[in-house]
């Protein structure tokens, strides 16, 4: 019997079986940010415990930092500057690779890591953030951890972990124009539930995966955790290898050919066994948007919100009733009639250069509707720089978007900047839980193209519905 890609990487990093269903796993690389990484480092200092291998540790400032032009350590988040300064003090004098606020390589952890070649095929990688699974797009075995687990890994380069069950999701067909990986993952979760992959590690494969570029694969794997998965992963291919060549932390020229040979062999065997399989024909997927308070509550933009009586599961019925009340919506209502107050393009899900390009195509020579707050936050300082070199910033600003510095920004509300009570926001982020983007803020998740089209229309819309052909 053959092995899956996940099993090959897992087995290579398994130090021993602990006999209780858990294994001791070697961790290759660790990425920290100021919100929780600073806590782990401070705890080690207080206990006088050294970092085992600081060369394998990376840190950035992204979660709490302001994204306003001319920013510094001061932040709207209560005690936010304390987290920033604590992380900076902890890494000072160490060999940790640190991307400070003014570093040209600063940005959101899951954006910086691939663009710098920190996440690589076949390695184990952790970060104290649940969307670490994004890096599975590169063939990295990556998952999010808590600050205590992170602290343990910093001290020992190991973690105790139970091997998850394995799920295969095959995406075939021809993806229609104007449909993105964000639409695919929202379709998947809406059809199979927010806990559809609970306890599983997902491998995405199929002809659609082969056609997707790396940044689209990153978006897909980013939301594997919203499907309940431990992580998501995609086998590296020639696109992966080309993407990683020449990156700052990729193998250098002398070792890259060896790495290429190894990476090319990292794939699931034909006779490997998965615990669960889902097959999706992507040919009929259309642009999606969420209507409720979890990614499962999503529909095509051309559809109406379901009726409560259509839901068979009683818990889901209760969740739907609560979601409708929170979102200020009614069952059976057309989602594309909903007026919005704000549009947000950013987050580790959809803030890469390809995301900004796709939104800019929609916004070019257009204007954001009256009274709409529109904000674009590039995922890294490198993305921002490249976007400005391509003139994308001028398109965003001319259309009426604020153009910000890089960071997590209003992906989540931590007591700082927010969209405001009962504000309806269409957003490229990954979570639409109650109060996620501010107290009582109502968030609709969608792709960058859909967010841009909605900002122009002043209501939830896709590009086609406002007369823009893809």
Q: Over the stretch 193-202, which tens digit does the pLDDT of each residue have? A: 999 999 999 9
Confidence of residue 337 (pLDDT cuts 50, 70, 90): confident
Largest CA distance in the chain: 63
For 41-152, strand residue ranges (E) read 57-60, 97-99, 124-127, 141-144
**CATH code 3.30.499.10 region(s) in the chain:** 5-164, 290-466
Homologous superfamily of domain range 290-466 = Aconitase, domain 3 (3.30.499.10)
* pLDDT band (50, 70, 90) for residue 269: very high
pLDDT over 80 (residue 227): yes
**What pLDDT score does 470 carry?**
62
Using pLDDT thresholds of 50, 70 and 90, give the confidence band for residue 158.
very high
pLDDT given at position 467: 85
Burial class (CB in 10 A: 0-12, 13-18, 19+), 117: middle
Task: Report the candidate in 467, 459, 466, 464 with the shortest Cα–Cα distance to residue 176.
Answer: 464
pLDDT band at 1 (very low <50, low <70, confident <90, very high): confident
Of 99-108, 270-279, 443-452, 461-470, minimum mean pLDDT range: 461-470
Distance CA 428, CA 371 (A): 20
Per-residue model confidence (pLDDT) at position 465:
87
Confidence of residue 414 (pLDDT cuts 50, 70, 90): confident
DSSP conformation letters of 397-462: HHHT-EE--SS-GGGS-SSS----TT-EEEESSS---TTTTSTT-EEEE--HHHHHHHHHHTBS--
Q: Mean per-residue pLDDT for 287-306?
A: 97
Mean pLDDT rounded to a whole number for the chain: 96
pLDDT tens, residue by residue, 65-102: 999 999 999 999 999 999 999 999 999 989 999 999 99
Return the axis-axis angle of helices 80-91 and 37-47, rounded to nearest 10°: 50
> Does the pLDDT at position 297 exceed 90?
yes
pLDDT at 50 (0 to 100): 96
- Reported for 237-240, long-range contacts at CB under 8 A and 24+ positions apart, including other chains, are 237/210, 239/213, 239/214, 240/121, 240/138, 240/139, 240/214
What pLDDT is stored for residue 55 in this prediction? Answer: 96
Q: What percent of the chain has pLDDT over 70?
A: 100
How confident is the model over 3-61, as pLDDT tens digits? 999 999 999 999 999 999 999 999 999 999 999 999 999 999 999 999 999 999 999 99
Q: Give the separation between CA 128 and CA 35, rounded to whole angstroms.
A: 9
Residue 142's pLDDT is 98
C-alpha distance from residue 54 to each of 28, 117, 153 (Å): 11, 17, 11
- Would you say residue 253 has pLDDT above 90? no
Specify the CATH number of the domain 5-164. Answer: 3.30.499.10
pLDDT over 80 at 304, yes or no: yes
- Return the CATH architecture of domain 165-235+268-284: 3-Layer(aba) Sandwich (3.40)
Are 220 and 208 in contact by the 8 Å Cβ rule? The answer is no
Q: Model's pTM, two decimal places?
A: 0.97
All CATH 3.40.1060.10 domain ranges in the chain, comma separated = 165-235+268-284
> How far, in whole angstroms, is CA 344 from its chain's centroid?
15
Tens digit of pLDDT for each residue in 367-384?
A: 999 999 999 999 999 999
């Amino acid at each position: 019997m053959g092995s899956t890609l996940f099993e090959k990487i897992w087995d290579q990093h398994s130090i021993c079986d602990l006999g209780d269903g858990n294994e001791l796993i070697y961790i290759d690389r660790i990425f920290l940010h100021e919100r929780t990484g600073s806590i782990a480092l401070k705890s080690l200092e207080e206990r006088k415990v050294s970092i085992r291998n600081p060369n394998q540790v990376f840190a950035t400032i992204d979660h709490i930092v302001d994204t306003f032009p001319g920013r510094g350590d001061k932040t709207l988040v209560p005690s936010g500057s304390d987290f920033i300064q604590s992380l900076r003090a902890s890494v000072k004098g160490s060999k940790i690779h640190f991307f400070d606020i003014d570093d040209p390589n600063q940005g959101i952890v899951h954006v910086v890591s691939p663009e710098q070649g920190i996440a690589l095929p076949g390695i184990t990688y952790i970060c104290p953030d649940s969307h670490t699974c994004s890096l599975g797009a590169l063939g990295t075995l990556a998952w999010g951890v808590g600050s205590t687990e992170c602290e343990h890994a910093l001290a020992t380069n190991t973690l105790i972990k139970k091997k998850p069950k394995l799920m295969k999701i095959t995406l075939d067909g021809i993806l229609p124009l104007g449909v993105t990986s964000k639409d695919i993952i929202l379709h998947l979760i809406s059809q199979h539930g927010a806990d559809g992959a609970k306890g599983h590690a997902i491998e995405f494969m199929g002809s659609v995966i082969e056609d997707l570029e790396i940044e689209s694969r990153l978006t897909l794997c980013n939301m594997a955790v919203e499907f309940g998965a431990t992580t998501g992963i995609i086998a590296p291919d020639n696109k992966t290898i080309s993407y990683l060549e020449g990156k700052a932390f990729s193998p250098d020229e002398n070792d890259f050919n060896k790495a290429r040979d190894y990476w090319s062999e990292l794939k699931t065997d034909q006779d490997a066994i998965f615990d669960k399989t889902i097959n999706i024909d992507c040919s009929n997927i259309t642009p999606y948007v969420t209507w409720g308070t979890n990614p499962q509550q999503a529909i095509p933009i051309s559809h109406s919100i379901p009726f409560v009586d259509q839901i068979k599961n009683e818990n889901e019925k209760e969740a739907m009733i609560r979601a409708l009340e929170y979102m200020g919506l009614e069952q059976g209502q057309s989602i594309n009639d909903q007026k919005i107050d704000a549009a947000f393009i950013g987050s580790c899900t959809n803030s890469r250069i390809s995301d900004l390009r796709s939104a800019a195509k929609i916004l070019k020579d257009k204007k954001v509707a009256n009274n709409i707050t529109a904000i674009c936050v590039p995922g890294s300082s490198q993305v921002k720089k490249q976007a400005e070199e391509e003139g994308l910033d001028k398109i965003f600003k001319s259309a009426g978007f604020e153009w910000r510095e890089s960071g997590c920004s209003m992906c989540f509300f931590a007591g700082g900047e927010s969209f405001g009570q009962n504000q309806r926001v269409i957003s490229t982020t990954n979570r639409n839980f109650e109060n996620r983007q501010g107290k009582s803020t109502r968030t609709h998740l969608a792709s960058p193209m859909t967010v841009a089209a909605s900002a122009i229309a002043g209501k939830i819309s896709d590009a086609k519905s406002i007369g823009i052909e893809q």
